[in-house]
Structure 1
Amino acid sequence: MTWTAFVDASFYWAYWTLFEAMWIGMLWMTRSRVPGRAVCRIPGLRNVRRRACETRVDALLAVLAQHGVPVGDRPDRKQLVERWHGFVAGTCAAVPFQTVPLLIAWAPFLPLRPAPNDAGLASLWMFVALACYGTVSITLMAADARAVAVSDAAGLVTAKAALFLEVLVLPAGQRSHYSALDTQGRAFSQMCRALRFQARYTTRELPSPLRERARHDTERLIATLGQHVERSLLSEGEERNNAVREMAHVVSSVLQHSCRRRDQRNSLVVVGGHLSASALAVATVVPAQAPVFWHRVLRAGGWLMAAAALFAGAALLPSGGVATDVMAVMGLLSIAAVVPPLRAVLDRARGGFLSGPTLGVGPAAEPCWPSQNSAAPPPATHADEPDVAGV
């Protein structure tokens, strides 16, 4: 493969990566990356693997009935099928749009094809570029998974809790290269992570006391499930069956609350009240704070990757002209989103147009919630200025 042909392929890769990065970033910032929302509206795609999902749901509900779970604590069949199938189908439908990671599989072999004798150094740079392409593609896949967790945490809980129930009560139907303990431990950790995502992201627009209460209730639920897992792993016979039965009862109640439609779920309850009353009391719960370190690193990496894609597109654009200048300016703005000194310089240069809140950087301002003990709003400074202190 010649260097010219590789540059042409990189040109198309840069444009596709730019589109994918912008698409993921826009859906992440608007909290609209909901898997299955568009797929379920397409007649041909919404029925793909739906019958298999219905069979799995029927098997789960039958086993829950055998374990003595009351009907009031079981998830609704129709809601569970719609939620689970929509989430899985939407996640799988996004894979064809993320075709860039396929470069990791076939592109490393292209430099090994016959090339001119003076292309040895070019082949080395090809391998370096392919390694960078693979890193960017994997990072975009991770960013898309986080965008799904931010936008539809309840759907993520539904999918992970249903999988954990299958591993717990239907071990005979699971085929895995890992041991039973590894499979159960992985499913349990994924469900607990999804529950924490739900407590964090579904309460982002609520006041701090409610966010703290949701996080505390979630930690109590996870501690209760952890105790049941410990009992089931360290006991045998009837005691183990009782632990599995109680754990299936709790997870079934979690599924019942999480599988509701997004436009109908207007409660922070994650498990039935009679089940949460007997949950363990966790002594300390980490308070709600600004985004964690890795969240900030991932967000900064997304901006920098977008800037790199823009600069690459500006450098490889054949015609140049105004499009090259626009892409270069957009790349500079992407870097300014994560570099405060550069943002301050641009802010002074453009008269406040590129301020921090406009770029969406930094912790979001907490909404102002009225309180019964709040003081009366101060009078307006000017007679013609409206009073907005209480808004």
Structure 2
Amino acid sequence: MTTEASEENAIDPPTGAEPGVSGGLLLVLLLASTLGMMAGAIVMPVLELIRNEFGISVTAVGFVATAHCALIAVTSPLVGRAIDRWGVRIPLGAGLVLYGAAGGAGLVTSSFPALILTRMLLGVGAAAVFSGTTVALLAAGSGARQDRIMGWRTAAVTASGVIWPMLAGLLGGISWHATFAIYLVGIPLGVATLLLMPNERKPPSGHTPVFVFDLLRRYPTLLAWNALMACIGLMMFSLVVFVPQRLAQIGIHEPVFSSLFMALLSLASSLIGLGYGRIRARAGFDTVLRTGVACWVGTFLLLGVSSHPVPIFAAAALFGIGYGLLLPAVTVLIGETPPASQRGQATSLSGTAAFVGQFFSSLIFGPLMGATSITAGYLLAAGIMTAIMIILLRSRIRDPRPKPVAVAGR
């Protein structure tokens, strides 16, 4: 499997590999990469306003935040196939424009069904943004440079987890419609992508088109890495949804402290992301993954057994460290396992996995926590991460990227 991937990469190098990516394009891609993960978080501060506006139930208004997830999961494989066939430029540029237009439609939407329809269209655009930015950033460098860029992406994504919702909350003070103006940033980013990204002309590869199931059969390790990506989404949303309730249990009811928890998480993750390239220069994927999972074991143990604010907030930083290690490592392992010509479909699977994990987080932890306690749910999470740690300790993880070819005379 590794030999086959290396051989094809040798004759079909990633388009846009260094030094072909300009600083301007790299900045656009990093900014755009923050949009896919934040499609739902932007509306969180105004969900109650929307519910009161339309007189709908709590369950119904929840679809405003989650409707796009189902569309991302369903359309990501189609987006990945389009990227592999036509290149990144058009799918990503068009996806960003659709993201901006569909998300920004909330500025003028006056009925709940119409709002849900725009959220579903947003999901299609978000699928293109998630897969397109991932493929483009993976192709923006190789080896140590690729590790640095993936770290920068993680830092950008986690920092946006604080910035976008804060901006949304400020605009929500004007009206819930105003919050949807944030999505309009996708339109200029889409135009910039179309202008700055080279028009990729894929040469005939001589390979029969590979479908998702064929890809998984040919590279079975993709199943493991996508399962880990789903776990990342599952665990992240277990914090987003249930940490405010956990804080209330220990006597902390002010919403600002829930925001502080997520801010500490984002700060720790961003710092790790900025230093991820240097970390990878000294540690292999096995060490990085095991360290990240160990941080999450500690996170959920603290949330499950502690009743004092200090260890609870320490858990936020610990989770952020783990996230800053796991997300870039798993992204590279997924994107580099198959040949570059099939990278679009491979990364699209990671989009499906991440958003399926987010969607099922409440369905898995909610009933358990409701029947027992929130601490029991977090102890279950600690048990899941412990099981993953045992698997990682018993596994040998190799870098799927081809080793640099030595140049004669050097």
TM-score of the pair, normalised by structure 1: 0.27
Mark the structure with the bigger radius of gyration. 1
TM (norm. structure 2) is 0.26
